[in-house]
Structure 1
Amino acid sequence: MELTAKLVNKKLLTPTFVSLWIIMFLVEFVKGALIVAILPVYMGDVLKLSAFAIGLSFSCQYIGDNLFRSPAGWLIERIGFRLTMTIGLCITFGAVFIITVMKTMGFIVLGCALLGIGTAPLWPCVLMGITAVTEENKNFGTAMGVIQISSLGGTGLGPVIINFLVSVSYTLVFWVLLGCMGLVILVSLFLPRRTNRPEDDAAETMKVSGAPAASAGAPDGLWRGGLARIWQNIRETHRNIRTHLKVSPLLYPALFLQSFAVGLLTPVITLFVRSELGLSPEAFSLMLITGGGVTVLGLIPIGKLVDRYGTRRFLNTGFALAAVSVGLFAFMRPMPVVWLLVMLIGVSYAFILPTWDTMISHLLPEGEKGTVWGLFLTIQGSGMVVGPIVSGKMWDALGAPAPFLASSISMALLFFIHLFISRKQPAPPGVSPR
């Protein structure tokens, strides 16, 4: 605890930020456990469902998560921060409950779709929350490092811990996951209603939607007037974003490529390590722990440096290092070199993960930050949807190294795109250009 206090500025450890950290960790714990450790085996071996049913369920989860991020960001600005998060978590609880008690393909697919829809507000809400709590101290990079630790920790620990419980019974496993979701719903009730100051809420709502200040953040203010009012609000939101969002057009393909590079590797990395490198499952697990551990150890120090020196040099380093190390990983077979490359990939993502979102936070317009976060996250998430599809085709048609080379090329493209974007964009307040 003392070490954490030294690494993380105490001004960052507000009740809001701690609540967001807990919510992120537990939700990713539940998702990681379901997607990696439970559903593939439970649906196939216990429920005797087809491979098509398993694939459809996973696709519905990813599509639901991706499609509803933009609406979630839009809702944050209209009905408030706490209510948006709580509604999403309640839907997630319902999704886990459906998967727990229902045994047919239709309900399992529905549960997975609701899991995606329910978790869609998570990242927009978290990013809006840390934008607010770091605004005064300009420590967004440090905050992102801490949040990424909770996300990666939950995703990694979920399957590991749940695998120990699966041998007891699936009933116990599902009740543990439901208990985690019940806890995060309670924690979400302690979040602030809005992420801005009350006077800013009123001014923002009047500027964006033309509504009276008294209705700022009120749910009935959104729904008053029915569908016509909602449609008018959406058009005014679009007009406001188009007017105030001043970013390079190259940012949009960069958002896609950032996750596409990862999506290319997701479905083939296990197969590559087993068939091409000849590693055992235990050695592969150790490799994942090593690479992930290197990333986690670097997140907070890199985040603090980003807050001090800006994002440019760290993203350039991260993209270049990832392009080289992933590309070499496709062809290198001596195990000492393979392990070195795994650690270098971990280092590259320690540079990228906290820095990328910090750069994006500097580009957000005033008044529609939640909506723009949701839009950017949707574009970024589409890379995780397309990447696995392209990866499988490349593996079959061009061979095992092809997805890795494509991921390396994507990172190289990101490097050059970012060189151009960072040259044009101004440095954030309090940071000299680097």
Structure 2
Amino acid sequence: MSEVSHKQAFAAHMMLYGIILFLVEFVRGAFLVSFLPTYAVKALGFSVTAVGWAVSIHYITDTLIKCFAGYLLDRFPLRFIVPLGLAVSMGGLWLMYSVHSLWLLIAASALFGIGLSPIWLVCLSKVRPEHRAEHMGMLYTCWLAGLGSGPIVLNFIMDKSYSLSFWIMLVLWGIGLALSLLITNTKLSAPEPIPLQQQIAMLWERLRSMKKLVPGMTLQTMAAGMLVPVLPGFTTNYLGFNYSQYSYLLIAGGLLTVGALIPMGRLSDRFGKKWFLVLGFAAFALTLFSLTLAFHLWVAMLLAAVLGISYAAVLPAWNALIAHYVPKNHEGMGWGLFSSVEGIGVIIGPVLGGWIADTFSESMTVLASAVLLGAIAVYYFLSPPESSASQAAVEH
């Protein structure tokens, strides 16, 4: 295949993956950020802590599947693994709307967490190494466009009907499932026939070499996870905004995030990752703290925009650093393991955030999240992560 044809095939595959990723993240964002915290608390009568448990169980399943899915994707057809996962998740989404007990809610959340890992790992394994941060920016643009627009759209629909909101999510997920049947089994690189035990040993060595990154891998996702079950309540109960105004905040933050991802990725490729991580996390912490004092819509929208830019500064630089530790020709398993480490924070965060909200207040959860993000900024200022990543790149 010629170089031009190869690039065209790569672009076509990434477009298909991007569309599927957009659809499933649209539904996941709509469900976890808007539908579940509102519907479960106000319509079904569950506590915020119960919602936090449901979100955590969702991410526990997602994290466990990442470990297993990475191994499967290195050895079995993509066209089989990805649709199978999406089909199981669709069953969990269907079950979620008819829950009547906490245990059924948790079971449905667990099933719903299964389908996203395979498509994510396929996308991440397609990133070209010579343009890691830029391609990460493009990939995260698709992800954030779906994750951000899902809650925005659903907030307006929920004012009219929970049922209509649910059916829209189910149909969009079904479209993503149908498109996943078009995925080709072609891989950019064929895995070397290394025994599983040897691969695990190799990945363990990678984890040991990246010990400077581990605190950030867990704490940043825990801080973000703390906010998931409390954001609707914080916005409506504490700040006094309605769901439509909540959507305006999401629009302000989402647009700035999506618009800044690719430029920030290119800048971090050029100038280095350390300061994008330090300043990004610091700005995120300060702005999140300020948001607890923003009782006027225009102030809250301005702060949401700053949050979006801060997020865009962190994401490409962070994932480009992680990419240095992914073993060559075993990208699926490598990304699966590292994503699982990050998933530890996502598992703990929602339960902790829900408990703080029920025990104290939603605003206290937001403040606690800001403190964690600020601690990450200080840690990476004192212990720059790029030196170990550079060493990993040499060994790689």
Q: In the alignment, what sits opposite 1:31?
A: 28
1:285 and 2:247 matched: yes
Give how far 1:276 is off: 4.3
1:157 and 2:152 matched: no
CA distance in 1, matches of 2:243, 2:255: 18
Contact 1:72 1:120 in 2 (8 A): yes
Q: In the alignment, what sits opposite 2:85?
A: 88
Match of 1:266 among 223, 228, 235: 228
1:422 and 2:386 matched: yes
Give how far 1:58 is off: 4.2
1:68 and 2:82 matched: no
Q: In the alignment, what sits opposite 2:108?
A: 111
Q: 1:84 to 1:310 in 2, by over 3 A?
A: farther
Matches within 5 A, 1:18-417: 18-39=15-36, 57-99=54-96, 105=101, 109-129=106-126, 131=127, 134-135=128-129, 138-162=130-154, 167=160, 170=163, 176-197=168-189, 200-201=190-191, 204-205=192-193, 208-209=194-195, 233=196, 235-243=197-205, 247-331=209-293, 338-395=300-357, 402-417=364-379
Contact 1:144 1:354 in 2 (8 A): yes
Matches within 5 A, 1:3-14: 14=11
Give how far 1:330 is off: 3.8
CA distance in 2, matches of 1:17, 1:143: 10
Q: 1:139 to 1:277 in 2, by over 3 A?
A: same
Note the aligned Cα RMSD (angstroms).
3.6
Q: 1:12 to 1:252 in 2, by over 3 A?
A: farther
CA distance in 2, matches of 1:31, 1:23: 12
CA distance in 2, matches of 1:396, 1:173: 26
Contact 1:245 1:364 in 2 (8 A): no
Q: Which amino acid aligns with 2:143?
A: S
Contact 2:260 2:312 in 1 (8 A): yes
CA distance in 2, matches of 1:20, 1:237: 27
CA distance in 2, matches of 1:20, 1:267: 28
Q: 1:179 to 1:246 in 2, by over 3 A?
A: same
CA distance in 1, matches of 2:365, 2:154: 30
Contact 1:90 1:185 in 2 (8 A): yes
Give how far 1:22 is off: 0.5
Q: 1:248 to 1:36 in 2, by over 3 A?
A: closer
CA distance in 1, matches of 2:184, 2:261: 27
Q: Secondary structure at the match of 1:117?
A: coil
Q: Which runs of 5+ in 2 are unaligned?
A: 1-6
Match of 1:17 among 14, 18, 22: 14
Give how far 1:89 is off: 1.7
Q: If the length of structure 2 is used for normalisation, what is the TM-score?
A: 0.81
Contact 1:310 1:427 in 2 (8 A): no
Number of positions where the alignment pairs a residue of Structure 1 with one of Structure 2: 383
Give how far 1:246 is off: 5.7
Contact 1:82 1:194 in 2 (8 A): no
Give how far 1:114 is off: 1.3
Deviations 1:235-272 (A, max 9, x none): 33322323455623132221001111212333334444
Q: Which amino acid aligns with 1:90?
A: A
CA distance in 1, matches of 2:358, 2:106: 28
Q: 1:194 to 1:414 in 2, by over 3 A?
A: farther
Over the matched positions of the two proteins, sequence identity in percent amounts to 30
Deviates more, 1:255-264 or 1:81-90: 81-90
Q: Which amino acid aligns with 1:28?
A: E
Q: If the length of structure 1 is used for normalisation, what is the TM-score?
A: 0.74
Q: 1:181 to 1:276 in 2, by over 3 A?
A: closer
Contact 2:152 2:247 in 1 (8 A): no
Q: In the alignment, what sits opposite 1:214?
A: none
